[in-house]
Structure formats: C-alpha cells, structure tokens
Amino acid sequence: MSPSNDSSARHLQMPGAGATLEQWLAYLESIHPSEIDLGLDRVLLVLRRLFRRNPSARIITVGGTNGKGSAVAALEQLLIRAGRSTGAYTSPHLQHYNERVRINGTNVTDEMLVGAFERVEAARGNTTLTYFEFGTLAAFVLFEQAGVEDWVLEVGLGGRLDAVNVLDPDLAIITSVDIDHVSFLGDNREVIGFEKAGILRPGINAIYADINPPASVLQQVSAQKVLLERPGETYQLVLSGDDGRAAGGFTLRQDRYGDEVRIPDTGLPVHSLAAAVVAIRQLEPGLALSSIERILAELTLPGRYEVLKLSPRVIADVGHNPHAAAWLADRIARQRKPAGRVIAVYAALADKDVEGVARAMSRVVDQWHLAGLAVPRGLGCRELAARLADIVGEASPELSSSVGEGLEQALAEAAKDDLVIVFGSFHTVAQARDALGI
C-alpha cells in the first residue's frame, strides 16, 4: 500500500543501530516533502553512488496501467523454472512491505531490507528521495548483493519519469494503457501512452500486451527501432473453445515456433500472461512448453480476483480504475450463478475515478455496500455515496464505516449462490483479508 507522508510530514531522525523495519519505513515517509515527485535526476545521482557500473544482470521492465503484477508474477516464475536466479520488484504491497521485493520467489526478510536501507541512506547524502524511490534503490541493492541474474521490475507510476526507469531494460513489457493518475500522467490515452513508452530503449525487444495500443506508443516503437511483439500482429490469442478444444482457457499461437501454448483461465488477465509467455520464449527458448503451461496453471496472485471464501463465495480484487473495473465486470458476468446475486463491497481513494469504476460495475452488481477507507486520501462512506448517487442510487446502497464492517454485512445477507466481490484499492483488499483472518 502507499505510504502516508504528505507536505506536512515531520522529518524523523535516521534510525539507529538495531532499528526495526517499521521504524525505517516511518523514516522513509518523512524525508521528502511529497509522496510522489516524478523525475530521475535525484535517483540517478544516488544510483551512481551505490553502483560503480551498471548491473550485469538482465533487466526486464514491466509498465502499463493494469495487469503489471500478473505479468511480473508469471515471468518471475517462468524464469525460476528455467533455472535463472530471479529478483522481482513490485508495488504497492497488500499487507507487508516485504512483498515488494522477492528473490527466487521468496519475500526478502526485514533484516535484509534494513541493511539495504542503511546502504541507500549512506549513499544519498543530502539528496532527498521519496518513499518509493528509496525502496526502489534498496531493491536494486538487494538484487546486486544476491547476484541475481534476472531483475523483473514493475514500474510504479507512468514510466518515463518513474524511479525504475533509471535502469535500461533488455526487454520491456507494456501491459495496457488507459486512464489513471490523471494529475500526473494526463487525461487521455495518447498522452499516457507517451509516458508508458518511456521505458523503451533503442533497438530492444518489447511486448505490448493489450489490443489497440495508442499511436503514441507505436510512434516511440518506430522512432527507437524497437522490435515489438503484440497480439493480432506477431502472435494470436484464441479462445480455446473456438478451435474445438474444451472451453475455459486460451491458446497462444506464434507462427515462428509452429506450436501452441495453452493459457488456462485462472482469474488473472490473459493478455498479461500471454505477454509473459512471449517474453520467456525470447529470453529462455529452451524452456519446455509443458513447464510453461504448468506454471501458468498453478499461478495465483493475492488481490487479483482472489478467492477469499467459498460459501458464500467471496472474491477480492485490487481494481481501482474504470479499465480494471470493466475487466472485473466481464469476468463476473461470465462466472456468476444464474440464481445468485452479486453483492459488492466497494471502498476507494478520493483521487480515483470512482464514478467510472461504479459505472463499469453497475451492470453486474445487484447490491452495493459502500465502505469508508480510513487511510490517507481515503474516501469516507458518505463521501463515496454522494459521488455515486446518480449511479448506484436505485440499488439502495448500504453504508459502512470500514471494509470489515461492510464485508460482515454483505456476508450476513448473502445466500449460498450469491457472489460477494470486494474491490477498489490495495487498501480495500488488505482490510478484507485482515477481516477474514487471511
């Protein structure tokens, strides 16, 4: 989840010897006047103090509006299966900061993070870093110390000016481009696409995972002579049922290989999984198709269409923008039971397009529970209800002060065939998991 610092945050003293991870995270929140401050100059300066030369590892950068976490998780596991030592850096986290940094599929320890924070602190001098920038450099330190061969790095926000972009990738994946973070990235896909395409480098291989990329992305691909893979052009995704096979998944076809890869329907975005397959076949062409398919079949990711309870069925999803909500609504429409209702528990941050999210979900939701989020930038339940009055008013939404309370009320009214969907933010999903003791 995001840190809580703002322009009024108090600058804390640097933690001393024996300080805990929690003390360090509180310190990181205090040392820069704003939570988000896009730009590479400060990060690059500290990076050069930390490393005398660029990392010798293979760098894979994953950007995009939605689906980044799924692409990272899939590619991470595929690289590990191929015998490569692999580091994965993602954000935000659900419940524990350690989730952001994994080495060979395992979260790093508190002690490892504290040691890396100490190195970044010593290197930065008088240069201020945001919480995200500090953590990004710490992840690089940990991967370098461990001698990790492949670094799979998820962009935090945008691409061109994101801290992750201080490293030149050997391969880049852009999962999708849609409207989010308007105040930082712009209010249309072309402008946002230009920011996302900032992770590209001249002559590298890249994958655009979704259909219909913005012209701004394709212009950057052409200008930098990037070798781009994309669905409908260099590979095909076909519903398995459309080619005579059993329904319930997809088939990935790449003419250059003359074979097919089965991508099961696991609840993760198929375009992101397909991009990971296209990537692994470039990076590790010797990995057997059976191994690829086995990894995809077993892959799960907390907070991404995650089943939290079976009866009644409770699913949690971190989707927080209209593009993600449309994907979620499509999936619910395919999976809901004919006799069952869909009961939504929705909580969100104030700077999100909650109207667009609710509009996308309204076609599948029968009953709304609007919950408050007691976090920085969180919306109270009454504020959320006021913003959604014209969209969910006819459904007579129930109001709850917290996600846990809203989930409790939803479960109390749910029949066995009903589906309870909890969504809207990483904070929302984290609080739902806490409420259920997960």
Which of 134, 24, 52, 38 has the alpha carbon at shortest distance from 89? 134
Distance CA 35, CA 389 (A): 31
Q: Per the structure block, which two tokens stand in for 185?
A: 């990235």
Domain boundaries in the chain? 21-298, 306-435
Least confident of 2-11, 163-172, 240-249: 2-11
- Name the pTM for this structure: 0.92
Residues facing residue 231 across a β-bridge: 235
Residue given tokens 């010797």 in the structure block: 286
In this predicted structure, the answer to whether residue 62 has a pLDDT above a threshold of 70 is yes
Q: Which helix (H) or strand (E) holds 103?
A: strand 101-103
Contact 110, 18 (CB under 8 A): no
Can you give the pLDDT at residue 181?
66
Q: How far is CA 118 from CA 131, 138, 413, in A?
A: 14, 9, 50
Over range 30-46, report the average pLDDT: 86
Helix (H, G, I), strand (E, B) or coil at 228: strand
Q: Per the structure block, which two tokens stand in for 184?
A: 């930082």
Which of 69, 2, 61 has the alpha carbon at shortest distance from 319? 69
Least confident of 214-228, 381-395, 398-412: 381-395
Distance CA 202, CA 221 (A): 8
Residue given tokens 């408050």 in the structure block: 372
The residue that leads in pLDDT, 243 or 421, is: 421
Q: At what angle do helices 131-145 and 41-50 cross, to 10 degrees?
A: 30
In this predicted structure, the answer to whether residue 168 has a pLDDT above a threshold of 70 is yes
The residue that leads in pLDDT, 130 or 184, is: 130
The tens digit of pLDDT for each residue in 261-295 reads 999 998 999 999 999 999 999 999 999 999 999 99
Which of 343, 233, 334, 263 has the alpha carbon at shortest distance from 70? 263
CATH of domain 306-435: 3.90.190.20
Q: Per the structure block, which two tokens stand in for 114?
A: 């504290």
> Cβ contacts of residue 18 below 8 Å, gap of 6+?
none
Distance CA 64, CA 155 (A): 8
Over range 304-316, report the average pLDDT: 95
In this predicted structure, the answer to whether residue 179 has a pLDDT above a threshold of 80 is no
Whole-number average pLDDT of the chain: 92
Q: Considering Cα of 206, then 209, then 211, then 217, what sign does the dihedral take?
A: negative
Helix (H, G, I), strand (E, B) or coil at 221: helix
In this predicted structure, the answer to whether residue 126 has a pLDDT above a threshold of 70 is yes
Least confident of 165-174, 260-269, 390-399: 390-399
Give me Rg for the CA atoms of the chain. Answer: 22
Beta strands in 155-216 (DSSP E): 171-174, 205-208
Contact 200, 63 (CB under 8 A): no
What CATH topology corresponds to 21-298?
UDP-N-acetylmuramoyl-L-alanine:D-glutamate ligase (3.40.1190)
The residue that leads in pLDDT, 362 or 14, is: 362
Question: How does DSSP classify residue 246?
Answer: P
Can you give the pLDDT at residue 180?
72
The residue that leads in pLDDT, 13 or 372, is: 372
In this predicted structure, the answer to whether residue 197 has a pLDDT above a threshold of 80 is yes
Which of 192, 432, 228, 184 has the alpha carbon at shortest distance from 323? 192
In this predicted structure, the answer to whether residue 238 has a pLDDT above a threshold of 80 is yes
Question: How does DSSP classify residue 169?
Answer: P
Can you give the pLDDT at residue 39?
84
Q: Which helix (H) or strand (E) holds 413?
A: helix 403-413
Interior angle at CA 313, CA 293 and CA 248, nearest 5: 30
Q: How far is CA 161 from CA 39, 133, 184, 188, in A?
A: 5, 11, 10, 18
Distance CA 33, CA 10 (A): 9
Distance CA 215, CA 194 (A): 9
Can you give the pLDDT at residue 5?
41
Can you give the pLDDT at residue 183?
64
